[in-house]
Amino acid sequence: MFKPNEDYLKLPGSYLFSTIAKKVAAFQESNPDKKIIRLGIGDVTKPLPKAVIEALHKAVDEQANAETFRGYAPDLGYEFLRHAIAENDFRARGCNIADDEVFISDGAKSDSGAIQEIFSKDAKIAVCDPVYPVYVDSNVMAGRCGDYDENTGMWSNVIYMPCTAENGFAPELPSETPDLIYLCFPNNPTGEAITKDQLQKWVDYANKVGAVIIFDAAYEAYISEDNIPHSIYECKGARTCAIELRSFSKNAGFTGLRLGATIIPHDLKVSFNGKEVEMHSLWARRHGTKYNGAPYIVQRAGEAIYSPEGKVQVKEMIASYMKNAKYIYDGLKEAGYTVYGGKNSPYIWLKTPDNMTSWEFFDYLLEKANVVGTPGSGFGPSGEHYFRLTAFGSYENTVEAINRIKAL
């Protein structure tokens, strides 16, 4: 008799956003006259930039014509997009990344879930706490995380690195040596970033102990301060220890269009059974076997954000979200809250008042201000007593939400 993958059965239900949805629906039903404002989910709301729309229409027309029709895309991505990313996101910043070290995919979420597959089944992972759930859950599914403790909300075989106000939301080097280290900076959910010097310490550590850093740079476009790295390859030695995940979702509004890229330098290699193995070739093999390329029209849309007009439009989009972020940050400060993030990311992370739990504050905000956010404890135990608001709403709604909170 066939059997299920028992590691899947270990996963606790993914209740965070469904619990939120249920609570909001129940509140709206009892209070049909209240206008609820949602600053909870990390999805963008602005339409795609004009340059992207134009590129999509043009590519669709190519697909309507036998002379210009394109079928299967190259497994690893079209050269025009791999080149645009390597040139604009890396070489223009002084990072030595070749076109063929860029792998195009249908999004950073898919890649952040799949990247663990190319490592050994007994690899030990280290994650920040709080953390984007995909890093841990995908490793649980692969059988690497041990058992779940419902009381602590932690897995027995995962190294957790707390990120709280006490350490400035910057994880400390772990005492136990991991094989894989997931880092996301600017961070989801805390909205805080780390400096280039801080990241350099992680690169040096990874090279020293023989670990690989999976660096999630999904929010790099929101960086406003000078000393914050946009890529881990700004650090010396990163080519031998780091994989970087890039997203088109938050910088260019591609959440519904799906496009991402993963960077694996040829220098990331390991000696195994007497042979030198490039992780680049393993990821290429995975793409060739379990994936079939991102749509041609979407890859053309991605290329368009690197055109002169595309760059201007993307900057304007980010500036408008960051205007929201500043309004939230300043408004909450004014109202007496202790607030983090929001300067190099679209997320504002606040300490709940009066030692409320994250969920108590969620209920309080929903009932008193009709504003929806995300309880920090939903991202891990060290997120307890914190709360996340996002800058992805409209400016009008953001202003109204913050004014309501200030009026409490």
For the segment 160-199, give every residue that binds a copy of itself (CB under 8 A).
179-180
Task: From 2-10, 188-196, 232-240, 353-361, give the range in contact with a copy of itself by CB under 8 A.
Answer: 2-10
Is 292 annotated to bind ligand? yes
Task: Kindly tell me which of 34 and 285 has the beta carbon lying closer to a copy of itself.
Answer: 285
Q: Is 182 annotated as a binding residue?
A: no
399 binds a copy of itself (CB under 8 A): no
Cβ-based nearer residue to a copy of itself, 331 or 393: 393
Which H or E run includes 224? Answer: none
- Among 125, 119, 210, 121, which residue's Cα sits nearest to residue 160? 125
Rule CB under 8 A: is residue 282 a binding residue for a copy of itself?
yes
Cβ 14 vs Cβ 133: under 8 Å: yes
User: Could you say whether residue 43 binds a copy of itself (CB under 8 A)?
Assistant: yes
CA distances from 82 to 40, 147, 171, 239, 279 (A): 33, 40, 32, 18, 18
Q: 31 is written with which tokens?
A: 């209070």
Say which residues have a Cβ less than 8 Å from residue 184's Cβ, sequence separation at least 6. 128, 131, 132, 215, 216, 217, 218, 219
Task: Indicate the residue among 59 and 102 with the shorter CB distance to a copy of itself.
Answer: 59
| Residues 6+ positions from 105 with CB-CB distance below 8 Å | 77, 111, 259, 260, 261, 262, 287, 291, 294
- Cis peptide preceding 130, ω within 30 of 0: yes
> CA-CA distance, 117 to 112, in Å (whole number)?
10
Closest approach of Cβ 72 to a copy of itself, in Å? 5
What values do phi and psi take at 54, rounded to 5?
-65, -45
Please choose, from the candidates 187, 82, 168, the residue with its C-alpha nearest in 3D space to the C-alpha of residue 127.
187
Among 187, 190, 231, 255, the residue binding a copy of itself under the rule CB under 8 A is 255
Q: How far is the CB of 289 from a copy of itself (least distance, A)?
A: 5
The yes or no reply on residue 288 touching a copy of itself (CB under 8 A) is yes
How many angstroms separate the Cα of 182 from the Cα of each of 100, 160, 217, 248, 279?
A: 23, 10, 11, 19, 16
Site for a copy of itself in 3-22 (CB under 8 A): 3-6, 8-9, 11, 14
Q: Which range touches a copy of itself (CB under 8 A), out of 80-88, 154-162, 296-304, 365-373?
A: 296-304
Q: Are 275 and 269 in contact (CB under 8 A)?
A: no
- What residues from 80 to 99 belong to the interface with a copy of itself (CB under 8 A)? none
> Is 132 annotated as belonging to a binding site?
yes
The CB-of-360 to a copy of itself minimum distance in angstroms stands at: 27
Given candidates 23, 93, 201, 286, which one binds a copy of itself under the rule CB under 8 A?
286
Tell me: is residue 219 an annotated ligand-binding position: yes
Residue nearer to a copy of itself on the CB measure, 170 or 213: 213
Strand bridging mode 260-263 / 269-272: unpaired
**Is 277 an interacting residue with respect to a copy of itself (CB under 8 A)?**
yes
Q: Judge whether 93 is annotated as a binding position.
A: no
Coil, strand or helix: which one is 374?
Answer: strand
Binding a copy of itself (rule: CB under 8 A), the pick from 82, 83, 109, 246 is 109
- Type and span of the H or E element at 179: none
Residues in contact with a copy of itself, counted by CB under 8 A, come to a total of 83
Q: Which residues are annotated as a binding site for substrate?
A: 15, 42, 109, 132, 188, 292, 388
Q: Which residues are annotated as a binding site for pyridoxal 5'-phosphate?
A: 72, 108-109, 132, 188, 219, 247-249, 258, 292
Q: Which residues are annotated as a binding site?
A: 15, 42, 72, 108-109, 132, 188, 219, 247-249, 258, 292, 388
